Amino acid sequence: MGTWGSPVRRAARALACLLIAGLIGSAAPVHAQSSTPRPVRIGVLFPDSPAARASMLDALRQSLRELGYVEGRHLTLDIRYAEDREDKLAASALELSREPVDILVTAGTGPTAAAQRATATIPIVMVGVGDPVARGFVASMSRPGGNITGSSDTLPNAAELRFELLKEAIPSLSRVAFIHNSAVTPTAAVEEAAHHLGLILLPLEARGPVDIDLALRSVRRHRPDAVVVVPNPLTFAARHRIARLGLLDQVPVVFGWREFMDADGFMAYGASMATLYRRAAGQVDKIIKGARPGELPVEVPRFELVINLRTAKSLGITVPPSLLSVADHVIQ
């Protein structure tokens, strides 16, 4: 009879196997394996409205399906919209953390900050945060170090790159209005980028809906050669108004996210939010399978250049072939 053949040794071996199984179970990933596992609960926190986020939520859902997750069987989505209210954003983050959900997906800086205040243990996948290191969400882009990972929607020189593209399209460019939130995009770096290109910058602060009205009035009053709009939930919500003013006053408007271009702006250079939400699904998948968010690098997407030739024609702009040749998408 072999070493493990006796009844006593067989019992010892069975006990050892049970102990090993117990140890493995204690370090199991978010979605614990069992014969009838419960669906993973994913909280999704948006700062604004269902209408504003429909395409982004669709991208997240579709990518999760492509990864093999069936909603209702493998996972459930608990979606909250703050309707542009900071108090509702904070309350929603607390509710999701107390229920609790297994993973939080947060759309942008505000929801990520609210989720960070609400929990230090639930994995958070942030989507499209500008400079998450400076905001204190992660220790570094390569090794976040805590319970937060995700993606950033900006580059350190994003403003200068947009100015350069605009100047290539309009060589006579001189005065540029810049609609932004200085709490997220410091003005000093942008002014330096404009100065480097010989541009006169008109910074227009926009932290709330009233500020958008004031910014648009300033554009009408000062009549700049172009308007550059920093992407964030506020400017995204106002994109149609901004683009409409540009067409009425014959002022080209340059946006950030590709999704802004449904408003018929002249140009966009920045991240595709749909791509960021697809990548977020991949990070959620890794966390479900046991990855630690603090060890998943924060992703920075490739920026895309979109040019609307219809709008260019309405503005009397002839886009040079050199610029069209490097565009990712051209709207005819």
**Domains in the chain, CATH or no CATH each:** 40-153+274-295 (3.40.50.2300), 158-270+304-331 (3.40.50.2300)
Instruction: Band the pLDDT of 35: cuts 50, 70, 90.
Output: very low
Mean pLDDT over each residue of the chain, to the nearest integer = 88
pLDDT of residue 188: 81
Q: Say which residue, 318 or 8, is predicted with more confidence.
A: 318
Calpha distance 32→167 (Å, rounded): 54
Q: What percent of the chain has a predicted confidence (pLDDT) above 90? A: 75
Instruction: Band the pLDDT of 29: cuts 50, 70, 90.
Output: low
Q: Is residue 5 pLDDT above 60, yes or no?
A: no
Calpha distance 20→304 (Å, rounded): 50
Instruction: Identify whether the C-beta of residue 253 lies closer than 8 Å to the C-beta of residue 266.
Output: yes
> Which residues, in sequence order, are CB contacts of 22 under 8 Å at separation 6+?
none
Q: Is residue 256 pLDDT above 60, yes or no?
A: yes
What is the number of H-type helices and E-type strands within the chain?
12, 12
Q: What is the pLDDT of residues 258-282, one digit of tens each?
A: 899 999 999 999 999 999 999 999 9
Q: What is the arithmetic mean of pLDDT over 287-297?
A: 97
pLDDT of residue 204: 94
Q: Is residue 18 pLDDT above 80, yes or no?
A: no
- Give the dihedral sign, CA 151/155/161/162: positive
Calpha distance 163→187 (Å, rounded): 14
Q: What percent of the chain has a predicted confidence (pLDDT) above 70? A: 89
Q: What is the pLDDT of residues 112-169, one digit of tens each?
A: 999 999 999 999 999 999 889 989 999 999 999 999 999 998 887 888 899 999 999 9
Taking the model in full, what pTM does it have? 0.83
Instruction: Band the pLDDT of 36: cuts 50, 70, 90.
Output: low
Q: What is the arithmetic mean of pLDDT over 98-108?
A: 96
Q: Say which residue, 188 or 248, is predicted with more confidence.
A: 248
Instruction: Identify whether the C-beta of residue 101 lies closer than 8 Å to the C-beta of residue 126.
Output: no
pLDDT of residue 124: 98
Q: What is the pLDDT of residues 180-196, one digit of tens each?
A: 988 777 778 888 889 99
Q: Burial level of 131, CB count in 10 A (0-12/13-18/19+)?
A: middle
Q: Say which residue, 282 or 3, is predicted with more confidence.
A: 282
179-218 as b/e: b if 16+ CB within 10 A: bbbeebbeeeebbebbeeeebebbbbbbeeeebbeebbeb
Q: What is the arithmetic mean of pLDDT over 286-315?
A: 96
pLDDT of residue 183: 74
pLDDT of residue 1: 39
Instruction: Identify whether the C-beta of residue 270 lies closer than 8 Å to the C-beta of residue 255.
Output: yes
pLDDT of residue 37: 77
> Which residues, in sequence order, are CB contacts of 151 under 8 Å at separation 6+?
126, 127, 128, 129, 276, 279, 280, 298, 299, 300, 301
Q: Say which residue, 47 or 187, is predicted with more confidence.
A: 47
Instruction: Band the pLDDT of 16: cuts 50, 70, 90.
Output: very low
Q: What is the arithmetic mean of pLDDT over 102-106?
A: 98
Q: Name residue, tokens 């909603």.
A: 71
Q: Is residue 293 pLDDT above 90, yes or no?
A: yes
pLDDT of residue 311: 96
